[in-house]
Chains A and B, each alone.
Chain A
Amino acid sequence: MKIQINEEFCIGCRLCEVYCLVEHSQSKDIVKAFKREAPRALARVHVEENGPVSFALQCRHCNTPSCVYACLTGAMHKDENGVVLHNPDRCIGCWSCIMVCPFGAITRDERGRKVASKCDLCPGRTTPSCVEHCPNEALTLVAEA
């Protein structure tokens, strides 16, 4: 399964960002995640906006993941289900993955020791949180064509 981006349906409401952050917070509670947790969790989906056009973008979990091939330490890896995951303990913040990701889907997490941050498709969930909370089906799950 992959997340499909349906640009024409995105209304730029950024609920995906909000719910991604909540999903990756410690409490998974929207109020606590924004108000009480320090450092605050990071969203791994980002809405890009320019006038009337907007869309939400997260890691595409590429079949040929440049980030994995370029990672100097093995922190970035593809698991047996084809999900591209990042292990912050092994990451040295060298930003080689940022250099090669053609979607620009990796961000710098500089809240503590510098490490990469990206979408993990919400482990433990059947539907990723961004997809579930998108009010307009701008993000949908599709089987790989």
Chain B
Amino acid sequence: MAYKYLIIGNSAGGIGAAEAIRSVDAEGSLAILSDEPCVAYSRPMITNLLTGQASFNNMVYRSSDFYTENRIETLLGKKVAKLQPSENKVTLDGGEEITYEKLLLATGGTPFIPKMNGLQKKGIHTFTTIKDAEEIRGKIQQQEIGEAVVLGGGLIGLLTAEALVTMGLKVTVVELLDRVLAPLLDPKASAMVREVVERNGIQVVTGRTVTEVLGKDEVTGVQLDDGRWLPCKLFVVAVGVAPNAGLAREAGLKVNRGIAVNSRMETSIPNIYACGDCAELLDFLSGNNRPIPIWPAAYMSGMVAGSNMAKSPKEYDGGVGMNSMHLFGFPVISFGKVNPTDAEGCEVLSKTDEVRGAYRKIVLSGNQIVGAILVEDIDRAGILLGLMRRKVDVSGCKEALIQDDLGLISLPRAVRSRMFEMSVKKNVAK
């Protein structure tokens, strides 16, 4: 088989690229390959599949005729075993070979499993795919699980715990750091989320990790590093994902923490591009490249990759860590630098409404927004993110930024007028 464009990975990054390719080149042969056997789906929605609140049909990312309408061939349930850049060729698990003119690696992340004893036992899961969700759901339906332990108090860990507790399990989350969602939130917002999570029946243990999985063949419990023993028949490891860059590394592409790319998403080897969770994307705040494993960054870097693959030059203007969380319906948005050190000399604006459980914090550096946390009052958060992205000098409206009724009216007229003006112009980014 031979294709003009071959995309490995049928998720946010791969679809972003395919859509960009088709907006430039309607005809060139295009195939998307994935070892997952299904059409692209909303990966974050696997929690809804686990609880039974969604079926696969509710989770599909694009309409049913998306692939045919866009003349995209799907090679699903197939795994790439090897890249051979010198021959513009990839080899699949069964030995089948596919050649390409342009190749995109949109291979995402792989869940990271820290070293501990007893990892070979049955009943240990990670939680990043449909298959994971189906397996855990099947197990909960088949047997009396009772207790579950989730390792990792990050976003995926807490989402997993939320799903499990909704299904009636008794759930404990074990987090190595001293608080949940540590890099995404500051201590105050983290404590607010922890309170919500605990109020909804999840037990949270911080400052601890699991040293050993107990049980004969199947998990019966886990041992913590303080000697405590937690019984459980289900153990989910959700400490994070690492860029899935093995294929690239073996083929000699430059890989640091993730696959190295330039602003056009080109890797170190000609005709091979990378995007999304497997790559190191430009962080527009720091100016450095690093993994930014979130859905919007995967889609947007994919679009840039696809555009360049189809010879329509485009540069990635960078992403930033940003998350919108809604654990048990409690809305929290955070982005950028939220835990500045004293040495960074940042200015911090904050406001708390104890009665309503609302909190807002904005971090400024040199009169520019560099990060924010919004708890409960999340409306219009994007105004702040937009000011941050465009590096707008906010010295004239700092007080307004922190108010929960923040609007464009709070901004200097010149800033607002320019936004309005640009928004009625063709072909301009905002």
- Point out the residues of chain A lying under 8 angstroms from B426, CB to CB: 63, 144-145
CA gap between A50 and B386 in the complex, in Å: 21
Q: How far is the CB of B175 from chain A (nearest CB, A)?
A: 23
Taking a contact as CB atoms under 8 Å apart, the answer to whether A99 and B324 are in contact is: yes
Binding site of A, secondary structure by majority: helix, strand, loop or mixed? Answer: mixed
Please tell me which one of the listed residues A50, A53, A73, A106 contacts residue B45 in the complex, with CB atoms under 8 A apart. Answer: A73
Residue on A nearest B12 in the bound complex, by CB: A72
- Point out the residues of chain B lying under 8 angstroms from A74, CB to CB: 42, 60-62
- Point out the residues of chain B lying under 8 angstroms from A100, CB to CB: 296, 322, 382, 385
Q: How far is the CB of A83 from chain B (nearest CB, A)?
A: 14
- Point out the residues of chain B lying under 8 angstroms from A90, CB to CB: 58
Taking a contact as CB atoms under 8 Å apart, the answer to whether B424 and A144 are in contact is: yes
CA gap between A93 and B408 in the complex, in Å: 23
- Point out the residues of chain A lying under 8 angstroms from B413, CB to CB: 7, 53
- Number of B residues contacting the other chain (C-beta, 8 Å)? 50
Interface band, chain A: 35 or more
Taking a contact as CB atoms under 8 Å apart, the answer to whether B417 and A7 are in contact is: yes
- Stretch of A28-36, A54-62, A121-129 contacting B (4+ beta carbons < 8 Å): A54-62
Residue on B nearest A142 in the bound complex, by CB: B424
B326 at the interface (CB under 8 A from A): yes
Max chain B Cβ within 10 angstroms of own Cβ: one of A93, A98, A145: A98
CA gap between A3 and B420 in the complex, in Å: 10
Q: How far is the CB of B354 from chain A (nearest CB, A)?
A: 22
Chain A window 93-130, contacts with chain B (Cβ cutoff 8 Å), 1 for yes, 0 for no? 11111111111101110000010000000000000000
Taking a contact as CB atoms under 8 Å apart, the answer to whether A103 and B296 are in contact is: no
CA gap between A57 and B409 in the complex, in Å: 10
CA gap between A96 and B423 in the complex, in Å: 21
Residue on A nearest B406 in the bound complex, by CB: A104
Taking a contact as CB atoms under 8 Å apart, the answer to whether A95 and B378 are in contact is: yes
Taking a contact as CB atoms under 8 Å apart, the answer to whether A104 and B44 are in contact is: no
CA gap between A64 and B428 in the complex, in Å: 8
B288 at the interface (CB under 8 A from A): no
Chain B window 44-69, contacts with chain A (Cβ cutoff 8 Å), 1 for yes, 0 for no? 11001000000000111110000000
- Point out the residues of chain B lying under 8 angstroms from A70, CB to CB: 295-296, 299
Max chain A Cβ within 10 angstroms of own Cβ: one of B322, B389, B406, B423: B423
CA gap between A144 and B164 in the complex, in Å: 50
Taking a contact as CB atoms under 8 Å apart, the answer to whether A69 and B382 are in contact is: no
- Point out the residues of chain A lying under 8 angstroms from B296, CB to CB: 66, 69-70, 96, 100
- Point out the residues of chain B lying under 8 angstroms from A2, CB to CB: 423-424
CA gap between A143 and B342 in the complex, in Å: 50
- Point out the residues of chain A lying under 8 angstroms from B335, CB to CB: 99
Taking a contact as CB atoms under 8 Å apart, the answer to whether B379 and A94 are in contact is: no
B381 at the interface (CB under 8 A from A): yes
Taking a contact as CB atoms under 8 Å apart, the answer to whether B45 and A104 are in contact is: no
Please tell me which one of the listed residues B333, B428, B430 contacts residue A95 in the complex, with CB atoms under 8 A apart. Answer: B333
Residue on A nearest B381 in the bound complex, by CB: A99
Please tell me which one of the listed residues A7, A50, A69 contacts residue B303 in the complex, with CB atoms under 8 A apart. Answer: A69
11 contacts between A and B (CB under 8 A): A3-B424, A7-B413, A50-B410, A99-B381, A99-B382, A100-B382, A102-B385, A102-B430, A104-B380, A104-B408, A145-B424
- A-binding residues in B (CB < 8 A): 16, 42, 44-45, 48, 58-62, 295-296, 299-300, 303, 322-324, 326, 329, 331, 333, 335, 378-383, 385-386, 389, 406-410, 413, 416-417, 419-420, 423-430
- B-binding residues in A (CB < 8 A): 2-5, 7, 48-50, 53-55, 57, 60, 62-64, 66, 69-70, 72-74, 90, 92-104, 106-108, 114, 142, 144-145
Given A57-B408, A60-B424, A101-B386, 19 other A-B contacts at CB below 8 A?
A4-B424, A7-B416, A50-B410, A60-B423, A63-B426, A63-B429, A66-B382, A69-B300, A90-B58, A95-B324, A95-B333, A96-B295, A98-B382, A99-B323, A101-B382, A102-B385, A102-B430, A104-B379, A104-B380
Leading 5 A-B pairs by shortest Cβ distance = A102-B386, A104-B380, A70-B296, A60-B423, A48-B409
